[in-house]
Amino acid sequence: MKLNIAVLPGDGIGPEVTAQAVKVLKAIAMEFNHLFTFETALVGGSAIDKTGNPLPDETISICKKADAILFGAIGDTKYDIDPTAKIRPEQGLLKLRKTLDLYANIRPVIAYEDLLNKSSLKIKQIKGTDILIYRELTGGIYFGNKTLSDDGNYASDICAYSRDEIERIAHLAFKAAQSRKRKLTLVDKANVLESSRLWRKVVQELAPQYPNVALHYMFIDNAAMELIINPRQFDVILTENMFGDILSQEASVIVGSIGLLASASLSDKHAMFEPIHGAYTKAAYKGIANPIASILSVAMLLDHFGLEDEAALVRQGVDKSLKLHITTPDLNVKYGHVTTSKVGDFIEDFINNPEETNLNFTNIHLGQSTII
């Protein structure tokens, strides 16, 4: 298969983790005889530094032409501490999502057997967790009308949704539930918010089209608690933009590190793949950033194009790296750790030759643990 992939490394740890994801894609292309071409473009704080614009026109046109987009991370603490900054890195990502109409953000949350003890939650609570979050990505409070009064003492953000915006992602979430455990939980705040009541109404009306899916409702405050008390009760979660942002980040506690959570953002025409973590500027260029979320985003990319064997091989490589503790320090306290690029090298090696890698890296790893 021929795929033209736009690579947007972004800020902070974005370039390092994305480089590992590209490494993995190249290994897959080689192994399975695909032709993947890559075109790199600027976004976020690094784009502001070079062009004054967090999403230059050139980046938009590269993304529009591409079959898929691989996104790193954006953000910079220098903007976070300055609420008056008019131009901000995040605007690049938000504008890209809106411009390409990437309305469905899909975030898998899986408790890996080999990482159960990395979570700060109890093993018996999280074991077996397998949740797919469908987060609406181009509406709600993120994109509603914003105001700031002239005297700077009053501000507002509108949370607005239309029936169409709800329907299109709800259909995707129902379909995903059909191919899984057939349970869909709509998370909202329908006891308070008018927009949430519209979500309930629309989703309820669609439910008869999916008679084999059990539809449940949960208020966001309760869901935030239930997600960590009893995550196994969830199969597919459907929710609006901001609730999805918060819940998915909370869910990373179940998995053990935010450095493990991948995502796909889809429209009817475009597809973007990105880790859910941010730019983590203070970790940049130290070789300590976990590239697994970015590498698992590659697996989602491959799945998206029906390349299931390829995606499975990437996931096996990730599993193997976790099993052998070939991981960055966020996951590896007991045995010392390897760098961001070594994790990428390991998974690349695994793709080239699964059996060999196992042996080589077990030895390397044992060597390391004796030193430490």
Residue 212 burial (10 A CB sphere; 0-12, 13-18, 19+): exposed
| Residue 94 or 159 having the CB closest to ligand IPM | 94
**CA separation for the pair 260, 258 (Å, rounded):** 5
| CA torsion, ordered 247, 253, 259, 265, to nearest 10 deg | -20
Kindly list the residues in this chain that would bind Mg ion in the complex (CB under 5 A). Answer: 245
Per-residue tokens: 210:
């999916």
Question: Please, which of residues 75-94 interact with ligand IPM by CB under 6 A?
Answer: 75, 90, 93-94
Write down the H helix ranges in the chain.
14-32, 45-51, 57-65, 77-80, 89-99, 123-126, 163-178, 194-206, 220-229, 241-255, 292-304, 308-323, 340-352, 354-371
**CA separation for the pair 347, 28 (Å, rounded):** 10
Residue 81: CB atoms within 10 A of its CB come to 8
| Residue 3 or 272 having the CB closest to ligand IPM | 272
| Residue 27 or 261 having the CB closest to ligand IPM | 261
* 170 neighbors 202 (Cβ within 8 angstroms): yes
| Least distance between ligand IPM and beta carbon 278 (Å) | 6
The entry of ligand IPM, Mg ion, none near residue 90 (CB within 5 to 8 angstroms by kind) is ligand IPM
| Least distance between ligand IPM and beta carbon 89 (Å) | 8
Number of chain positions touching ligand IPM (CB under 6 A)? 8
Q: Phi first, then psi: give them for residue 146, nearest 5 degrees.
A: -120, 140
Over the window 233 to 272, marking each residue x when it contacts ligand IPM by CB under 6 A and - when it does not, the resulting string is ------------x---------------------------
Residue 64: CB atoms within 10 A of its CB come to 13
**CA separation for the pair 291, 148 (Å, rounded):** 39
Does 203 help bind ligand IPM (rule: CB under 6 A)? no
| Residue 29 or 261 having the CB closest to ligand IPM | 261
| Least distance between ligand IPM and beta carbon 107 (Å) | 8
Over the window 274 to 293, marking each residue x when it contacts ligand IPM by CB under 6 A and - when it does not, the resulting string is --x-x---------------
| Least distance between ligand IPM and beta carbon 316 (Å) | 27
| Residue 238 or 311 having the CB closest to Mg ion | 238
| Least distance between Mg ion and beta carbon 184 (Å) | 22
**CA separation for the pair 41, 53 (Å, rounded):** 13
| Least distance between ligand IPM and beta carbon 245 (Å) | 5
Which spans of this chain sit near ligand IPM (rule: CB under 6 A)? 74-75, 90, 93-94, 245, 276, 278
